[in-house]
Copies of this chain bind each other. A is one copy, B any other.
Amino acid sequence: MESVGVGLIGTGYMGKCHALAWNCVNPVFGDCPQVKLVHLADITEAQARDKARELGFADSTADWRAVIENPQVDVVSVTTPNSFHPEMAIAALKAGKHVWCEKPMAPDIKDAERMRDAARGSGRVAILGYNYIQNPIIRHMGSLLDGGEIGEVFHIRLEMDEDFMADPDALFYWKSEASAGYGAIDDFAVHPLSLVHKLLGPVSSVMADMAMPYPDRPLADGGRRKVETYDIASALIRLENGASGTLCVSRTAWGRKGRVAIQIFGSRGSIIFDQERMNELRLYRNDGPSANQGFATILASPDHSPYERFLPAPGHGLGFNDMKTIECRQLLAAMQDENAHVIDFEEGLIIERTVHAMAQSYHARGWVDV
């Protein structure tokens, strides 16, 4: 594979993120096929044209099917709102394209299953945009766990919190409508679950509580509307490997901006991480004299591949967008049948089933197997 033709559908938050990754993957890694930015789709012709120019794509369209049908396109980034994922991703796979779809797969688990089915028979790569798993310091966490550095893991605690819906005076918008899903559990839980999945394996059973901190929110015209989604969720979890744990998410946690906090406890040590300090890992090992034991704050460095592709000096700091460039590189590896660290539609479906099981357990007021 000498070169790769790229199509992009959607140019919002994640669309730009994909575009940056496609622009950077060659100069950062230098060892992958030449990326050609072929075709970009956006809502209107004018907007698509502007975005194609900005983001470096050769051609543009308001018809996303044109991207999928373009014979120069080998792989399609699908970054539209979640409800569009199934149709677009399935169409792209049917057209023989590889697919890089943003997470979650789909609001309805049935649609996610159809996506998984479409990927299964396609002979194409179909992965999801779980970028947190790509952080070199998270990859190092995986190496530590696999190497038994903290012994057998028996307990974990996961949190993901932001505050973009914390203001009770903010206007009602679509995220508070039932049609948007359950709430925080959709928005956030998949992220820590992707990390657990890669680091420790699947969740086997769950028992969740969900909460609506604000029963209604103001409307622009002065009235108020009842909130239909849960901005907070907390769950007890059990992993297939036997570990117990908790998973807590909130989008109304004042002061939390991008917190994805992990605590992993094992028989010989512990590991702690917080995405708000994404270049730091804290490692405690029951090793050496107890008088000298403490959590070591490890800074991301060229020792934690592929950090060295971005920077030769340790502790200088990668950013959120760099994770996406690594994800892009892993996608290219998968497309070349190389061993790749990605979450494909099979694994993605397991993660989303876990979220649905959580919601189900809330209503059932008891444990639910995933």
Residues of A within 8 A of B (CB): 13, 16, 19-20, 23-24, 26-28, 30, 34, 53-56, 140, 144, 149-151, 154-155, 157, 159, 162, 164, 166-168, 207-209, 211, 213-214, 232, 234-236, 238, 244-246, 248, 250, 252-259, 263, 265-270, 275-279, 281-286, 289-299, 301, 303-304, 310-322, 365-367
Contact A155–B310 (Cβ < 8 Å): no
Residues of chain B with a CB closer than 8 A to A167's CB: 286
Asked if residues B155 and A214 are in contact (CB atoms below 8 Å), the reply is: no
* Residue pair A270, B291 in contact (C-beta under 8 Å): no
CB <8 Å contact, B291 and A294: no
User: In the complex, what distance in Å separates the CA atom of A267 from the CA atom of B252?
Assistant: 8
Please tell me if the beta carbons of A254 and B268 are within 8 angstroms of each other in the complex: yes
Closest B-chain residue to A37, C-beta based?
B27
Q: How far is the CA of A50 from the CA of B304 in the complex (A)?
A: 25
Copies in the complex: 4
Whether A56 contacts B26 in the complex (CB less than 8 A), given A234-B236, A315-B258, A319-B321, comes out as yes
Determine how close the nearest CB of chain B comes to the CB of A91; give it in whole angstroms.
26
Known contacts A19-B27, A162-B313, A301-B257: A157-B248 contact under CB 8 Å:
yes
Could you list 18 A-B pairs, sorted by A, with CB under 8 Å?
A13-B311, A26-B56, A150-B254, A154-B252, A207-B236, A213-B267, A234-B244, A235-B236, A252-B265, A254-B265, A255-B269, A290-B303, A294-B299, A310-B320, A311-B320, A316-B320, A318-B320, A318-B321
